[in-house]
Copies of this chain bind each other. A is one copy, B any other.
Amino acid sequence: MKTTYRDAVRLGLREALQADPRVFLMGEDVGRYGGAYAVSRGLLEEFGPERIRDAPLSESSFVGAGIGAALGGMRPIVEVMTVNFSLLALDQIVNNAATLHHMSGGQLSVPLVIRMATGAGRQLAAQHSHSLECWYAHVPGIRVLAPATLEDARGMLGSALRRPDPVVIFEHASLYPVEGELSDDAGAVDLERAAVRREGGDLTLITYGGSLGKALGAAAELAHDGFSAEVLDLRSLRPLDVGTIVESVRRTRRAVVIDEGWKTGGLAGEISAILMEQAFYDLDAPVARVCTAELPIPYAKQLEDAALPQVDRIVTAARALLPRR
């Protein structure tokens, strides 16, 4: 069927709510309003206010309540409107959700799914445009996912709910209106492996989430010049599928990592460091990074565009690694 990323996420939510009475959705404006990004529209009518639970503006406490509800036998899906607001809940996520299993010597576990929108590109300026996936990917004890396709948007949720540990799912806000095909029987997806979204032999473009489209765009441009770029979608940001990353780059011998986070201390650096450690002798050129410029995201369109990774910047970075043709 033809549908959108937004509807695919909603489908995943509906399926999860139908499949397991322990599942409920909780967050700001998920019910009456229908979700800040209209993701949960209609779910309140279908599942009622106990299971589609509107929360007050209290990020720390409703995320913490998600932890407690998971401890108490439920399978909560907590929606934090965007990653920017999740800073208010980081204490609960890092100090409680990620540690309780360990601190209790394995007694407690926290089967909690936290969904949040992420990313820039809609002129929302410096307090609504972060990409802090790398922070979450730094924390042992949680799993971090970034669905870039409709299948993953729908399927990762169900797969995440089957895990006994906290899972954080990042949905890039600019993907919600993206249209595509989704097979009717699409269901649970694997959470472990990165996906090759385009095969190629001359270099590897490594990315995830909202930047996948840009990487594919860059690969298409490079193809005009006769270079075949492999495009890798990380899918899982923690744990990283190091095997697939390293295998691809060993083969192509060149890599550009594209990541909408700020460059310094971001996820792209981690991938580069892994390649340093595990593919150093196979590299024909240093791994390059295309990330967001080091500034709070500005409102004005031309400034925001200049700050973010774009197809032309990816192509330029790739060309610099490739032999002249």
Question: Does A273 belong to the interface (CB within 8 Å)?
Answer: yes
Chain B CB within 10 Å — which of A98, A126, A274, A277 has the most? A126
Residues of B within 8 A of A135 (CB): 135, 138, 265
Question: In the complex, what distance in Å separates the CA atom of A95 from the CA atom of B139?
Answer: 21
In whole angstroms, how far apart are the Cα atoms of A240 and B273 in the complex? 17
Number of copies: 2
Interface residue A203 (Cβ < 8 Å from any Cβ of B): no
Cα distance A321–B274 when bound, in Å?
A: 16
Nearest B residue to A91 by beta-carbon distance? Answer: B87
A91 to B285, CA, bound (A): 39
- Is the pair B95, A127 in contact by a Cβ cutoff of 8 Å? yes
A-B contact pairs, 23 of them (CB 8 A): A87-B91, A87-B94, A90-B90, A135-B138, A135-B265, A138-B261, A138-B262, A138-B266, A140-B262, A140-B294, A140-B296, A141-B296, A264-B270, A265-B267, A265-B270, A270-B273, A273-B289, A276-B276, A276-B286, A277-B288, A277-B289, A280-B286, A281-B286
A84 to B277, CA, bound (A): 30
Q: Does A298 contact B (CB under 8 A)?
A: yes
Binding site for B on A (CB under 8 A): 60, 84-85, 87-88, 90-91, 94-95, 98-99, 102-103, 125-127, 130, 134-135, 137-141, 238, 240, 261-262, 264-270, 272-277, 280-281, 283, 285-289, 294-296, 298
Q: Which residues of chain B are near A95, meaning CB under 8 Å?
A: 84, 87, 126-127
Nearest chain-B residue to A299 (Cβ)? B103
In the bound complex, residues from chain B placing their C-beta under 8 Å from that of A125 are: 103
Most B Cβ at <10 Å: residue of A87, A261, A277, A287: A87
